[in-house]
Amino acid sequence: SLQTPGSIRFFDYRPTPADVRAEVLAGLGRPVKRLSPKLFYDQRGSQLFDAITELPEYYPTRTEIGILREYGSEMADLLGRDNVLIELGSGSSLKIQTLLAALQPSVYMPVDISKEHLLESAHALAERFPGLSIRAACADYSAPFKLPLKADWTDLAAFFPGSSIGNFDPDEARRLLGRVAGLLGVGGRLLIGVDLPKDPAILNAAYDDAQGITAAFNLNLLIRINRELDGHFDPDAFYHRAFFNTERSRVEMHLVSRVEQKVEVAGERFEFRAGETIHTENSYKYGIDAFHRLAGEAGFVAEKIWTDEQELFSVHCLRV
Ligand code: AVI
C-alpha cells in the first residue's frame, strides 16, 4: 500500500480493465444488440452523469440526499458508531459527507474502480474530516473483490447509495448483495439506496429530460466506441429512447437506429434495420417488498426503511 499525507492509505487491487473491444463486439453481434451501462462512464460520460444528477427531472440524487439529511442520526443508531464503514462506489462524496458527521466511523473505506475518483474523493474528505482514518481500495465491486480489512475488525457496516443496485439484473444484484453479506459477516449492516416504482410519467421524464442531457449521455457511448475502437457510428443516425417497462419494473434505455445502415467497428460490420435498437441500460425499480425478497435471498434481514414524503426513493438498513 502507498502512504499518502494525512490519514489516507491507498490499496490498489488492480481491477482488471474491462476488455471494451471484446464486450462491444460481442454485444453488437447478438441478435438483440446490447451494450453494458458500465461503458457510459468515460471522462465525458462521467461529466454528463454528474449533470444528470442536477437535472430538475432526475429526482433520485436530491431525494436520497434529503432522506440521508433527515434521518442520518437514526441511521447511525442502527449502523453503530466507531466502526468500519465501507462505501461501494465512492463517486458521490456529497452523500457520505452528509452521513459522516452522524456516523463517526473509526475507519472509512471507499471502494471504487476508478483510481482518480477514489483519490479525489478521499482527499476531499480528509480535508473536511481531519480526524478520519481513510483506507481507500481500488477494486471492482461488481466482481468478487478484496478489501483492506484487518482480521480483528468485526464491526463492519457498508453504504451503497444511488440505487446503483438497480443497474444490475436481479440475478447479478442478488450475487453482489450476497458477496457484500459475506464480507460484512453476521451482525454487519448495509445501508442501501433503492429507487421505487412510481408513475411512469415521472420515470420517463427522469430518463429523457427536456435539455437532452440523458440523450447525450446515452449517445456518448457511440462517440466513445468511435474513438476507442475505430468505430464508424454516425451519432446523428441514432436517437435516445427511454421508457418504463412496467412488467419488469425497470427503465430501459436504448439507442434507436433512424435508418437501415451498416456500421463498421474495429474492422467488423454490423447491420441495423430502421428502428432497430441497441439496449444500453436497465434501471430496476424495487418496491419495498420486492427489495426485501431480493435482499433476503442474498442473506440479509430487513431492519428499517426510510422514504421521502412522496415515496419516490427508499433507503434500507439491512442486517446480515
Ligand atoms: C447510476 N445509475 C443509478 C443511474 C440510474 O438512474 O440508473 C444511471 C442513469 N442512467 C440514466 N440516468 C441516470
Q: Identify the residue whose C-alpha is closest to ligand 1 atom 12.
A: 207
Please enumerate in sequence order all residues whose Cβ is within 8 A of that of 284, keeping only pairs 6 or more positions apart, or say none. 165, 166, 167, 168, 169, 170, 173, 248, 249, 250
Q: Identify the residue whose C-alpha is closest to ligand 1 atom 7.
A: 283
Mutate to test the pocket of ligand 1, among 39, 167, 254 (most ligand atoms within 8 A of CB): 167
Q: Is 63 in the pocket of ligand 1 (CB under 6 A)?
A: no
Q: How far is the CA of 106 from the centre of ligand 1 (A)?
A: 31
Please enumerate in sequence order all residues whose Cβ is within 8 A of that of 306, keeping only pairs 6 or more positions apart, or say none. 67, 70, 71, 74, 75, 314, 315
Q: Running DSSP on this structure, what letter comes out for residue 34?
A: B
Using alpha carbons, list the distances in angstroms from residue 109 to 100, 184, 318. Answer: 12, 13, 19
- Closest ligand 1 atom number to CA of residue 206: 12
- The whole model's pTM is what? 0.94
Q: Are 165 and 314 in contact (CB under 8 A)?
A: no
Residue 314's SS3 state is: strand
Residue 186's SS3 state is: coil
Cell matching residue 316 = 434500507
Backbone angles phi, psi at 87, to 5 degrees: -115, 125
Q: Is 61 in the pocket of ligand 1 (CB under 6 A)?
A: no
Q: Are 87 and 108 in contact (CB under 8 A)?
A: yes
Q: Running DSSP on this structure, what letter comes out for residue 197?
A: P
Q: How far is the CA of 7 from the centre of ligand 1 (A)?
A: 32
User: What does each of the 320 residues of the chain score in pLDDT, given as a tens digit?
Assistant: 554 445 899 999 988 777 889 999 999 999 999 999 989 988 899 899 999 999 999 999 999 999 999 999 999 999 988 899 999 987 667 899 989 989 989 999 999 988 888 888 898 888 888 888 999 999 988 888 889 999 889 889 999 999 999 999 999 999 999 999 999 999 999 999 999 999 999 999 999 999 999 999 999 999 999 999 999 999 999 999 999 999 999 999 999 999 999 999 999 999 999 999 999 999 999 999 999 999 999 999 999 999 999 999 999 999 99
Q: Is 233 in the pocket of ligand 1 (CB under 6 A)?
A: no
Q: Are 226 and 232 in contact (CB under 8 A)?
A: yes
Q: How far is the CA of 230 from the centre of ligand 1 (A)?
A: 27
Q: Is 282 in the pocket of ligand 1 (CB under 6 A)?
A: no
Q: Bridge-partner residues for 272, per DSSP? A: 261
Q: Are 262 and 272 in contact (CB under 8 A)?
A: yes
Cell matching residue 80 = 453503530
What is the rounded distance in angstroms from the CA atom of residue 73 to the CA atom of residue 148? 27
Mutate to test the pocket of ligand 1, among 39, 41, 49 (most ligand atoms within 8 A of CB): 49
| Rounded to 5°, angle at Cα 245 from 226 and 284 | 75
Using alpha carbons, list the distances in angstroms from residue 57 to 117, 151, 272. Answer: 26, 45, 31
Mutate to test the pocket of ligand 1, among 39, 40, 41, 52 (most ligand atoms within 8 A of CB): 52
Q: Are 217 and 58 in contact (CB under 8 A)?
A: no
